[in-house]
Amino acid sequence: MTGNRGGRRRKAGRRARDNDLDISQSNSDGQDGAEGSQQPKRRLQRLNPQQTQVLEGFFGICAHPDENQRMGMSESTGLTMQQVKFWFQNKRTHMKHVTGKEETYRMKAQNEMLREENKRLASAAKTAFCPACVALPGLNPSVEVQRLRQENESLKQQLSQLRAEAHPSSSRPFQLDPSTENIIGRENDMDAIAELAQSAMHEFVVLSESGGPLWMPVPGGSLDVLNKMAYAQTFGAGSSANAIGFMTEATRADGMVMMDAKQIVDYIMDSECYTSFCPGLVTSANTTKVYKWPTSAGYNGAMHLMTVETVFPSPLVPSRKCTFVRCCRDMQNGTVIIVDVSLDNGDGTFKCHKMPSGILIRSLNSDASQVTVVEHVQVNDTGVHELYRPSLSGLMFGARRWVSSIVRQSARMRDLFIVSKSASNGNTNGRKTLMKIADGLLADYASGIAAVPGSGWTILRGAGTEDDIRITYRKNNDDSNNAVVSVCASFHLPVPLKVTFDLLKNNLLRPKWDVLVNGNSVREEVAVCKGVGAGIDDVVSILHLKNRDNIMILQNSGYDVSGAFMVYCPVNIQVMNEIMSPSNTAESNNVSLYPTGFHLLPVEDTALGLGEGGATLVTAGFQIMLKLARGTGLYPRSASTAAGLMTENIATIKKTLTSSHPIFYRRQPPNNLI
């Protein structure tokens, strides 16, 4: 008991020091000797909650205030400008320390990866040899070439084995059927599937590891776009041909994932885990047929047929549903590739045809991996609204969005299970439950808006939007006459993506635009789990509202240069206490939440790179519970009220963010912490 009391006193002391402010002058030019020893001890002033809220709120969007900004904070808090200056200096030092630990670990893993890559390239340069050429007399092929030949022979043997297992008496060569009438029958043709998978793996490896003319980098280095002419020259013109009304999207992106390679493979190959690994992007994933089952050793050689539906959270962008073969293969040096390829021949029968795509996973150490994602599809984009067409090709469904989702979820899991295992932010089971609810909140928001066909929306005109306000509803499964109503609208904001995200997320500005907050001050109560960058931009958190002790807000937010999101909903304090109580294990399944949120997409600005310049395309939406008119759907008054609420909210957001933007970003962007 004495140890527990001591631990609580230490934690209370740390929380108290966070609110203490050093009000003494800087001692860099101080005196030495006996005169310096006679200086009085520095006095610490405890900040009250209002002062902390103002300073923390401003720091969230601007870590380097200028003199005019410090003067404004001094007037609003009652502190001197020198005290405000010292507080920001101490806060920047603290943030640098917090982010430094994870960044150091990440840099060590990346350094190890670069060292291995350097050794491989040096070895390849010393033993340069063309496998297509006949070896000259007296010249021995390099070790790398011998390895490739051995691997090629091994793959041929595995291919023959797959054919023998499926059709012991079949020896006919494989030819693609030019018609699509036999697509269903092709699902059972093991020869065709094995040949297709082998060809797709070869193409994917070339695409994932090649540079030069095949890929064109996007400014900022966030992703690469396929050079279609170089692709046609490399793989043949027939591979890049589009069906009428179809367009090709092909992007490549990479990132460091704080997770073991085997765990990543397990999440991606299991269709149920795959959905939870990419919430808000994958709404459904089903394994319809298994061609080769995984073994106790893992998924090496496993191959199955999957149907996956991906969404972008806007009714103006149709969802994409694609059926493809997914196969997994272990390579040399701990590298694993997972390749997807559609069975149809891309003649336009299906709305989404997946060319050889997938993920290459290089294991760096026991809990870090480097992943490279290639997403190459031919898709019917006739349903995409004009608002979203100026966006970069492949940005809404491309490789960068897949990488950011995988990196975000793995970082949150690491924070939840490893980094913050001994943290005092609630019990471990409660935090796991809250993360699961937050992921479900993001998934419900995306599916509730994007998974509804265009004919299912009622269109109402609203001021301040580049398109109409759209309303739809789905009836509850119970016998009540209630329905969940979804309201959605899209609009441009003349503010860069990063700035827009910071301003929306800032708790100091929130009372000015958020209807749910209703003018009350907001502060972060608990950071449930933090993702990329120590949770500065990527975090699941619980927010507390002043003067509303019975309500808290659960918020899920994340930022990437390819897009950002912020989804939240009110939660009753009793439900929150039940979730966070140590005895609770199953209450999360009974929690009904109706999300409100924003999804942000950068409007292309090639001069500065994604997210750093230009404007932002904002998709706003919310869900509420309303009663239905008997037999006639929504009451007209309910629909007009919901549209009016969205119109008013959009106008307030535009006014608040555009007027706050030049004030907070007069000097430097907020992500510069030192």
pLDDT the model gives residue 252:
93
What pLDDT does residue 551 have? 86
Domain boundaries, given as residue ranges, for the chain: 45-105, 184-414, 420-664
339-to-150, 210, 347 alpha-carbon distances in Å? 21, 16, 21
pLDDT value at residue 236: 76
The pLDDT score that the predictor gives to residue 627 is 81
Predicted local confidence at residue 10, as pLDDT? 47
Distance, in Å, from the CA atom of 652 to the CA atom of 488, rounded to the nearest integer, reads 16
Residue/partner pairs of 292-296 with CB below 8 Å, 24 or more apart: 292/162, 294/269, 294/328
User: What residue type is assigned to position 513 of the chain?
Assistant: W
Residue where the block lists tokens 């310049």: 613
d(CA 620, CA 415): 29
Three-state secondary structure call for residue 415: helix
The H or E element that residue 384 is part of is none
Q: Per residue in 66-109, pLDDT tens?
A: 888 888 888 888 888 888 888 888 888 877 776 666 667 667 76
Q: Hey, how many other C-beta atoms are within 10 angstroms of the C-beta on 180?
A: 16
In the numeric block, which tokens belong to residue 566?
A: 């912020």
Neighbour tally for 378: CB within 10 Å: 24
Three-class secondary structure of residue 365 per DSSP:
strand
Q: Which segments of 117-201 are extended strands (E)?
A: none
Per-residue tokens: 265? 């493979």
Q: What is the CA radius of gyration of the chain?
A: 28
* Cα–Cα distance list, 460 to 205, 315, 636, 639, 644 (Å): 49, 14, 11, 9, 10
* Digit-coded pLDDT (tens) for 139-172: 455 555 666 666 666 666 666 655 555 544 333 3
- DSSP result, 78-100: ---HHHHHHHHHHHHHHHHHHHH
Instruction: Give the pair of three-digit tokens for residue 93.
Output: 């030092």
Fold match flag (184-414 vs 420-664): yes
Asked: is 184-414 a CATH 3.30.530.20 domain? The reply is yes
Whether CATH 1.10.10.60 fits 45-105: yes
Give me the residues of the chain with pLDDT under 50, please. Answer: 1-5, 7-18, 22-37, 129, 131-139, 167-184, 422-426, 585-586, 606-608, 667-674
Q: What angle do CA 87, 92, 94 make, to 5 degrees?
A: 95
CA–CA separation, 614 and 395 (whole Å): 16
Length of the chain: 674
Number of C-alpha atoms within 13 angstroms, CB side, residue 303? 24
Q: Are 348 and 212 in contact (CB under 8 A)?
A: no
- Kindly state the tokens that stand for 134: 């006949």
What's the Cα-to-Cα distance from 196 to each of 162, 192, 226, 327, 669, rounded to whole Å? 12, 6, 22, 11, 49
What is the rounded CA–CA span in Å between residue 631 and residue 462? Answer: 27
- Spatial neighbors of 277 by CB under 8 A, at least 6 apart, are 267, 268, 405, 406, 409
3-state helix, strand, coil in the chain (%, to 5): 40, 25, 35
Q: How many CA atoms lie within 13 A of 327 on its CB side?
A: 24
State what percent of residues in the chain have pLDDT above 70.
68
Q: What single DSSP character describes residue 142?
A: P
CATH architecture classification, 420-664: 2-Layer Sandwich (3.30)
Overall pTM > 0.85 = no
Q: Please compute, for residue 616, the number of CA atoms within 13 A of its CA located in the half-sphere on the CB side.
A: 28
What does the alpha-carbon distance between residue 534 and residue 100 come to, in Å, rounded to a whole number? 9
